[in-house]
Amino acid sequence: MIKPLLALFTLGFSTLVAQPAPTPAPSSVADRTQWFREARFGMFIHWGVYAVPAGEWQGKPVSGIGEWILRNGKIPVADYRAFAKDFTAAHYDPQAWARLAHAAGMRYVVITGKHHDGFALYDSAVTEWDAVNASGAGRDLLAPLAKAVRAEGLKFGIYYSQAQDWTHPGGANGNWDPAQKGDYDEYLQKIALPQVREIIDRFDPAIIWWDTPVNMTKERAKPFGDFLAQHPAIITNNRLGGGYNGDTKTPEQHIPPRGYPGELFEVCMTMNDTWGFKKNDLNWKSVRQIIRNLSDISSKGGNFLLNVGPTADGRIPDASIERLEAVGRWMKVNSEAIYATEAGPFPRRLAWGRVTQKRTSTGATTLFLHVWDWPADGRVTLPTVTQKPTGGTVLANGAKVQAEVSADGLVVQLPGSATDADVSVVRLDFAQPVIVTQEPFNTPAADGRVTFSAQDADANGHYDGNIQLRDAGPNAYLTDWKNPRWNLEYLLKTPAAANWTVTAEVATAQATNAVLTAGKTEIPVTIEATGADLSWQTVTLGVIALPAGETKFGLKGAAQGWKGLSIRHVWLTPAP
């Protein structure tokens, strides 16, 4: 319901509250995105009324992510609104949240100003469905966080669901309760667009993070784009819709195998399986996985936006705090290998870890070796690099490293043992640009065989997750393949068209059906159970025909009979 008098002053209401100083307009695209390119690591916060039911409705668990409980549970709007009285924020400490983000090594914070349930975390002039007027909190929750985040020297951003709104009449995808019926364009004009003006005018965010552009045509998106054009310093993502691509790509819950060279991208990811708080979701990622995700994303030139989902009374779960504190300890030692770095120069992932780099205008280059798997002999190779560094040290203890050029590339001799159980970082300084001539594709060995490790696979996921890489070196494997829509892709370069027998080292507790793909060819495969606890066996998947030159093949789950699969090595052997 629109507030009777204040609705008349939607565009000018912000003049009644204290305003932050406007952000100076940058002189170029590079200038306005520079801070974002250098930040690399941010905190996502999903907080709203959905934290009250916390994954349950009428005593029963509702499947799916926590903040979608209204839609997934088809809860009547009136019943969902009743939850708001228990959204108290009684233990909300914005200073503590901001300190936690800063201590974790994060450089910016993005919070859900309004999610798909239509609930605003501030006092909106166009609706009563907000933290001040409808909830037990009874106060603006965005303003104190914006102040606290900036006090820590971090950038403040706001997520806004512009299209999906399951409580206001006319919002997209509200289709199970008559109270949701209404005109979509009227909703955009009377709720969404005025609220976007409110949050920009009042909170001066560095980021507007759009989401799910359902039914957003070019005409519908244009008023939002026109208003943003008046605020050129704001960074936006690619989810407004209508052809407005914003500044950043936003892969969700998965890391793009090769990044997006030359483009800004930001991987957003949960620590467990949900964005909004869900009390029974205890499937937490390990500290190692989170640090390696940060390492992997940075090595591809991307940012990592890692989520926390506070409770209805404003507490960040202890498991999230513990992980962020651990990441912060790692960042305190190794942050120079993350901040203001570029993607590493190697076109293929390295078996022992990842690489980021920094380059100066004079050509001097620093490579940061993110060593995931510290080798027993202390030697790691940078393929095809023929230059010697002017110096090298381990960041954690300053120990010197030695390097010699070999036939395979630059061999770096690491001193002692790993300084960190998850990722140790070595700095190498070069006086000139580092030249890498590594072939980006796997090629046949002298015997004609092509070998692929787990690191050579491009794991293609979706917004609901991705196949996960575990361990490193020869023991690395791909697992947590929960959805048959996710798939693996292998790139190679062959001298001539040929038939190939595909074999793979796999593990599965149950027989599972998969599909081997090569171009338009799809070959059904049944993989028998290998045993419990990652019992590895080598199996033949089938025979494929591939053309000469740069090509690829893949493996995906079958629509029927998919039970999951872990996979380590894959081999192509010439077939008759």
Confirm whether 16 is domain-assigned.
no
Band the pLDDT of 4: cuts 50, 70, 90: very low
The DSSP secondary structure of 421-475, one letter per residue, reads: SS-EEEEEEESSPPP----SSB---TTS-EEE-GGGEEEE-BTTB--EEES-GGG
Same domain, 406 and 466: no
- What pLDDT was estimated at residue 257? 87
Chain mean pLDDT for the chain: 93
Identify whether the C-beta of residue 455 lies closer than 8 Å to the C-beta of residue 349: yes
> What does the alpha-carbon distance between residue 20 and residue 233 come to, in Å, rounded to a whole number?
14
Confirm whether 4 is domain-assigned.
no
* Number of Cβ atoms within 10 Å of the Cβ of 475: 11
> What does the alpha-carbon distance between residue 346 and residue 438 come to, in Å, rounded to a whole number?
7
Mean pLDDT of 373-391: 96
Same domain, 194 and 332: yes
| pLDDT surpassing 80 at residue 188 | yes
Confirm whether 17 is domain-assigned.
no
- What pLDDT was estimated at residue 17? 31
Mean pLDDT of 187-203: 98
Q: Is the C-alpha dihedral spanning 536, 538, 543, 549 positive or negative?
A: positive
Which two structure tokens, joined as six digits, stand for 205?
A: 């965010």
Same domain, 289 and 314: yes
Same domain, 405 and 378: yes
- What pLDDT was estimated at residue 25? 42
| pLDDT surpassing 80 at residue 93 | yes
Band the pLDDT of 80: cuts 50, 70, 90: very high
Residue 98: strand, helix, or coil:
helix
Mean pLDDT of 506-524: 97
Same domain, 131 and 239: yes
> What does the alpha-carbon distance between residue 346 and residue 34 come to, in Å, rounded to a whole number?
23
Identify whether the C-beta of residue 255 lies closer than 8 Å to the C-beta of residue 295: no
Determine which of 22-36, 77-91, 404-418, 472-486 has the lowest per-residue pLDDT on average.
Answer: 22-36
Closest CA to 566 of 483, 508, 488: 508
CATH number where 127 lies? 3.20.20.80
Confirm whether 503 is domain-assigned.
yes
Residue 541: strand, helix, or coil:
strand
- What pLDDT was estimated at residue 5? 31
Same domain, 325 and 249: yes
Closest CA to 388 of 406, 400, 375, 370: 406
Q: Amino acid identity, residue 158?
A: I
- What pLDDT was estimated at residue 303? 98
- What pLDDT was estimated at residue 7? 34
Band the pLDDT of 19: cuts 50, 70, 90: very low
CATH number where 520 lies? 2.60.120.260
Identify whether the C-beta of residue 123 lies closer than 8 Å to the C-beta of residue 141: no
Q: Amino acid identity, residue 163?
A: A
Secondary structure percentages of the chain, helix, strand, coil, to 5: 25, 30, 45
Same domain, 400 and 456: no
The DSSP secondary structure of 170-206, one letter per residue, reads: T-BT--SSGGG-S-HHHHIIIIIHHHHHHHHHHH--S
| pLDDT surpassing 90 at residue 573 | yes
Domain that holds residue 425: 344-430
- What pLDDT was estimated at residue 28? 58
The DSSP secondary structure of 16-83, one letter per residue, reads: GS--PPPPPPPSSHHHHHHHHHHH-EEEEE--SGGGTTTTEETTEE--S-GGGHHHHTT--HHHHHHG
Same domain, 90 and 72: yes
Same domain, 217 and 272: yes
Mean pLDDT of 179-191: 98
Q: What is the DSSP letter of 313?
A: T
> What does the alpha-carbon distance between residue 105 and residue 322 come to, in Å, rounded to a whole number?
14
> What would you report as the CA-atom Rg of the chain, rounded to the nearest whole angstrom?
25
Q: Where a domain ends, among 337, 366, 397?
A: 337
> What does the alpha-carbon distance between residue 375 and residue 268 come to, in Å, rounded to a whole number?
31
- What pLDDT was estimated at residue 24? 42
Q: Where a domain ends, among 314, 337, 360?
A: 337
- What pLDDT was estimated at residue 474? 82
Confirm whether 442 is domain-assigned.
no
Identify whether the C-beta of residue 140 lies closer than 8 Å to the C-beta of residue 132: yes
Q: What is the DSSP letter of 576?
A: -
Same domain, 247 and 320: yes
User: Residues 190-204, buried b or exposed e (16+ Cβ, 10 A)?
Assistant: bbbbbbbbbbbbbbb
Looking at the chain, the number of H-run helices and the number of E-run strands are: 10, 29
Percent of the chain's residues with pLDDT above 70: 95
CATH number where 394 lies? 2.60.40.1180
Identify whether the C-beta of residue 196 lies closer than 8 Å to the C-beta of residue 240: no
Query: pLDDT by residue (tens digit) across 385-409?
Result: 999 999 999 999 999 999 999 999 9
Burial (Cβ within 10 Å: 0-12, 13-18, ≥19) of residue 66:
buried
Q: Where a domain ends, among 316, 337, 358?
A: 337
Percent of the chain's residues with pLDDT above 90: 90
Q: Could you tell me the end-to-end alpha-carbon distance of the chain, in angstroms, rounded to an integer?
A: 72
Determine which of 9-18, 233-242, 251-260, 336-345 has the lowest per-residue pLDDT on average.
Answer: 9-18
Mean pLDDT of 366-370: 98
| pLDDT surpassing 60 at residue 13 | no
- What pLDDT was estimated at residue 30? 67
Confirm whether 230 is domain-assigned.
yes
Same domain, 236 and 314: yes
| pLDDT surpassing 50 at residue 223 | yes
Please report where in the chains the tokens 């199970």 appear, as a residue: 176
| pLDDT surpassing 50 at residue 379 | yes
Which two structure tokens, joined as six digits, stand for 76?
A: 């009547």
Please give the tally of structural domains in the chain: 3
Confirm whether 440 is domain-assigned.
no
Query: pLDDT by residue (tens digit) across 435-482?
Result: 999 989 999 999 999 999 998 999 998 878 889 888 877 888 999 999
Determine which of 71-85, 201-215, 470-484 has the lowest per-residue pLDDT on average.
Answer: 470-484
Confirm whether 250 is domain-assigned.
yes
Mean pLDDT of 492-511: 97
Band the pLDDT of 353: cuts 50, 70, 90: very high
Same domain, 561 and 413: no
